[in-house]
Amino acid sequence: MSGLGFAKTPKPPYYAVIFSSQRNGKGEADYAAAAERMFELVVQQPGYLGVESARDTNGFGITVAYFDSEENILRWRNHAEHAATRARGKREWYEHFEVRVAKVERAYYGP
Amino acid sequence: MSGLGFAKTPKPPYYAVIFSSQRNGKGEADYAAAAERMFELVVQQPGYLGVESARDTNGFGITVAYFDSEENILRWRNHAEHAATRARGKREWYEHFEVRVAKVERAYYGP
């Protein structure tokens, strides 16, 4: 999931799912494969606009996925394979995580 | 700015400033000192709720700062030392960055 770079999002408004997580250091190969598969899936979802992700060397990471609507965020949340992988993540890969759903109102960039 | 861990935010609604950036690899010591100083300052700002930050080994990073209101986000944006440091960042430290201001509507956590 690393090395994705910047999301090319349209003009606001749109939605962001901010997922911050602390890895527990276990199951790295399985985790990496699952993250790769989730990325493969999310880009195909209705209303998907982009994703950005960074994880530091302490295993703390932030992934932000952008969608056009709350409806499509819920659709992705209810996607069967995604839900199963999230459940596995809870059990096996994360010490802790936080999810925040936010409406992007303004955006700018530089330099 | 790394190793901050999770922000302890109140119940939504509140605001998030999502700053994603690609470092250019230059001026690491100055950049690290400036990031440290900005963290020192931001926690003192009116309406500051928390911050989370991760940067990967490719120099791609996401920092999310949480505030209680758009008014206080603008106040921090207009803070003189912050503005000067941002200008320096644009010139010296970032290949590219994106800033998104979003209203957090829902939050949950686990496991």
Q: What is the pLDDT of residues B73-106, one digit of tens each?
A: 999 999 999 999 999 999 999 999 999 999 999 9
Nearest CA in chain B to A98: B109
Does A107 score more than 70 pLDDT? yes
Q: For residue A77, what are its two tokens?
A: 């949340």
Rounded CA gap, A71 and A60, in Å?
29
> pLDDT for A65-102, tens place per residue?
999 999 999 999 999 999 999 999 999 999 999 999 99
Instruction: Please tell me the pTM assigned to this model.
Output: 0.95
Q: For residue B14, what are its two tokens?
A: 């509140």
Q: For residue A59, count CB atoms less than 10 angstroms from its CB and return exposed for 0-12, middle for 13-18, buried for 19 or more.
A: middle
Longest dimension (CA), chain A: 41
Angle at A62 between CA A66 and CA A84, to 5 degrees: 75
Does B30 score more than 90 pLDDT? yes
Q: Are A67 and A73 spatial neighbours (Cβ–Cβ below 8 Å)?
A: yes
DSSP string computed for chain A: -TT-------SSPEEEEEEEEEE-S--HHHHHHHHHHHHHHHTTSTTEEEEEEEE-TTSEEEEEEEES-HHHHHHHHH-HHHHHHHHHHHHHTEEEEEEEEEEEEEEEEE-
Q: What is the pLDDT of residue A111?
A: 78
Pick from A54, A90, A96: which is nearest to B55 by CB? A54
* B103 close to A (CB below 8 A): yes
Does B40 score more than 90 pLDDT? yes
Pick from B18, B100, B109: which is nearest to A97 by CB? B109
* B25 close to A (CB below 8 A): no
**Neighbouring C-alpha atoms within 13 Å toward the C-beta of A25:** 2
Give the mean pLDDT of B38-56. Answer: 97
Rounded CA gap, A34 and A40, in Å?
10
DSSP string computed for chain B: -TT-------SSPEEEEEEEEEE-S--HHHHHHHHHHHHHHHTTSTTEEEEEEEE-TTSEEEEEEEES-HHHHHHHHT-HHHHHHHHHHHHHTEEEEEEEEEEEEEEEEE-
Angle at A95 between CA B35 and CA B47, to 5 degrees: 40
Q: What is the pLDDT of residue B110?
A: 79
Measured in angstroms, the CA of A104 and the nearest CA of chain B are apart by: 4
Q: What is the value of ipTM here, to two decimals?
A: 0.95
